[in-house]
């Protein structure tokens, strides 16, 4: 396995002078050198061929002991120096100080076809940033992360990627419900891939410590390697850097809203500087359409990270980043202008996104009202978001409306006449609105089916794969992996996955709400 190794990050930025792997505050450094923990019986149970190809890893190499040992931390690739990054963050709105890669270890960078990829292991042992934790991960959370990153990529949502999913052969103690009843679970490691794992928090920790010299170094590095089109580092390029981060963050969140994805933990340390979805913890897809839903048990009371609040949290996080960059820009006005523009762009892009889901192309002043009434109706009774929008592309006239969406109702038998009347009224408006469009119903269906997925990774689907994997059967992981490669295709052979969450999964652990425990 011959890889084109680079080390742009470790050569350009200051390293931790203390080489001990002990929990501590790490100052005047962007990262600490650290080696993964060797495991007792490593086994690769799934690999993403597309990601392997992007890294120029051959099929033969994927089957080798060397590959298995590298992606489980049991061997270090020649002439590389694994490291963990130092960052801080605002967690649930409060500054948490130093956080860092507590269970992620960056192995190396690979350059292939003019792209630079960082290869990282999640769950490969403790680092100076592990605080009171063990730096390990369990199979259930690793399956969820591995599948979801690739699923999001195929949904056309900006995301980090997955290369491999492995068992460590060791047991890991976890309290899945945070109820004081920890139990041993199978340990696992995901190999994650991204052009960069830099987060808002990498910059925040330096500003919080008033380490402006290293903050500037980190921003200069980021512009040089990830925003080179902005030109040489200077005040103007710093401002344009913040502008582009703001735009990318918004685009990512609009895509989340489009497919009904709820991240669950939008802390600033979980916000990618490249506008990629990062850190798949207690995430979930909307099943019943509900702006107030959060998948995170920790967020159950205040619902800070609920579906409908994700765009606002994106803005709140950008305010923290603006404060962070202020010491090297020293002007408030351009930062405020960018933050104000986020609000304007959100209104525009959100409207455009909803219009695309409804197959509306031409402009009409009634569009906002049509969308608002639709969103109100969707919350009258529990209505599956994915099924509703996918079936809507088959709409021809107002008579077919209610029949089409019945499949999306969780309790179709008991929908009141009042609710039916509201839907009938809306379908009349929708019919009139479609009359203004110039495309045929076939063309409209084609366009709608490109933005409204038929298949998403519902939590109960992940849980079924987890339950099977716990028994040593990994076939369902692969079945879901293959299914989610074509989320917008009909795939008639996979129709069983185009279905509402089963009733048994409504309140089952792992199928409705999840904790951060992994």
Two tokens at 503?
Answer: 């009733």
Q: Are 297 and 282 in contact (CB under 8 A)?
A: yes
The three-state secondary structure class of 89 is strand
Q: Which of 16, 269, 279, 299 is catalytic?
A: 269
The radius of gyration of the chain's CA atoms, rounded to the nearest angstrom, is 23
The answer to whether residue 269 is catalytic is yes
Q: Rounded distance, CA 447 to CA 299, Å? A: 36
Question: Which parts of 13-154 fold into alpha helices (H)?
Answer: 49-54, 59-62, 65-71, 139-154
Residues 6+ apart with CB under 8 A from 53: none
Tokens linked to 19:
């080489």
Instruction: Please provide residue 376's backbone torsions phi and psi, each rounded to the nearest 5 degrees.
Output: -65, -45
Do 127 and 135 form a contact (C-beta atoms < 8 A)? yes
User: What residues does 162 pair with on adjacent strands?
Assistant: 192
CA dist., res. 105 & res. 84, Å (int) = 5
- DSSP-derived 3-state class of residue 159: strand
Please name which of 456, 450, 515, 409 lies closest in space to residue 261, comparing C-alpha atoms. 456
Assign residue 517 a region: left if phi > 0, alpha if psi is -120 to 50, beta otherwise? beta
Tokens of 499: 């279905």
Classify residue 89 by burial, with Cβ atoms within 10 Å: 0-12, 13-18, 19+.
buried
CB-based contacts of 82, cutoff 8 Å, min separation 6: 33, 34, 35, 36, 76, 105, 106, 107, 108
**CA–CA dist 193, 116 (Å, integer):** 10
Output DSSP code: residue 272.
B
The Cα–Cα gap between 436 and 517 comes to 51
Could you give the CA distance from residue 47 to residue 161 in angstroms, rounded to a whole number?
A: 11
Longest dimension (CA), the chain: 71
Residue 140: partners with Cβ closer than 8 Å, 6 or more residues away: 176, 185, 466, 470, 510, 518
Q: Which residue has the tokens 């850190």?
A: 279
What CA–CA distance (Å, rounded) separates 184 from 173?
4
Tell me the DSSP string of 469-502.
Answer: HHTT--HHHHHHHHHTTSTTS--GGGGGGSSPPP
Q: Which residue has the tokens 């913890």?
A: 281
Active-site amino acid positions: 269
């Amino acid at each position: 396995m011959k890889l084109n190794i680079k080390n742009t990050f470790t050569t350009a930025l200051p390293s931790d002078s203390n080489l001990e792997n002990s929990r501590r505050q790490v100052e005047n450094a962007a990262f600490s050198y650290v080696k993964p923990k060797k495991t007792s019986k490593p086994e690769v149970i799934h690999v993403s061929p597309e990601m392997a190809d992007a890294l120029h890893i051959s099929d033969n190499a994927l089957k080798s002991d060397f590959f298995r040992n590298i992606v489980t931390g049991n061997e270090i690739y020649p002439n590389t120096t694994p490291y963990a990054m130092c960052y801080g963050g605002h967690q649930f709105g409060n500054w948490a100080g130093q956080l860092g890669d507590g269970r992620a270890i960056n192995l190396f960078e690979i350059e292939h076809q003019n792209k630079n990829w960082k290869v990282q292991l999640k769950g490969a042992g403790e680092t100076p940033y592990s605080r009171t934790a063990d730096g390990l991960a369990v199979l259930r959370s690793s399956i969820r992360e591995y599948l979801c990153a690739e699923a999001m990529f195929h949904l056309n949502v900006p995301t980090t990627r997955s290369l491999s999913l492995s068992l460590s052969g060791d047991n890991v103690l976890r309290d899945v419900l945070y109820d004081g009843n920890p139990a041993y679970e199978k340990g696992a490691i995901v190999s994650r891939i991204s052009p960069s794992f830099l987060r808002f928090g990498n910059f925040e920790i330096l500003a919080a410590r008033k380490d402006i010299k290293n903050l500037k170094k980190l921003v200069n590095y980021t512009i040089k390697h990830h925003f080179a089109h902005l030109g040489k580092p200077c005040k103007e390029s710093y401002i344009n850097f913040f502008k582009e981060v703001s735009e990318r963050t918004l685009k990512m969140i609009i895509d989340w809203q489009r497919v009904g994805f709820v991240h669950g933990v939008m802390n600033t340390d979980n916000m990618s500087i490249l506008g990629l979805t990062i850190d798949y913890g207690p995430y979930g897809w909307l099943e019943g359409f509900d702006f107030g839903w959060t998948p995170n048990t920790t967020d159950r009371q205040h619902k800070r990270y609920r579906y409908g609040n994700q765009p606002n949290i994106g803005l709140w996080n950008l305010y923290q980043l603006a404060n962070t960059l202020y010491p090297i820009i020293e002007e408030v006005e351009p930062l405020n202008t960018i933050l104000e523009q986020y609000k304007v762009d959100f209104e525009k892009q959100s409207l455009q996104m909803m219009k695309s889901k409804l197959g509306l192309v031409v402009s009409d002043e009634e569009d906002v009202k049509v969308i608002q009434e639709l969103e109100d109706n969707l919350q009258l009774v529990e209505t599956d978001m994915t099924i509703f929008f996918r079936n809507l592309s088959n709409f021809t006239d107002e008579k077919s409306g209610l029949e089409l969406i019945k499949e999306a109702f969780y309790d179709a038998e008991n929908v009141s006449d009042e609710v039916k009347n509201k839907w009938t009224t809306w379908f009349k408006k929708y019919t009139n609105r479609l009359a203004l469009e110039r495309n045929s119903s076939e063309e409209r269906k084609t366009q709608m089916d490109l933005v409204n997925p038929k298949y998403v990774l519902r939590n109960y689907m992940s849980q079924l794969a987890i339950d099977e994997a716990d028994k040593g059967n990994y076939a369902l992981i692969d079945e879901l992996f293959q299914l989610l490669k074509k989320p917008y295709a009909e795939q008639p052979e996979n129709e069983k996955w185009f279905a509402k969450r089963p009733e048994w999964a409504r309140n089952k652990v792992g199928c409705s709400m999840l904790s951060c425990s992994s």
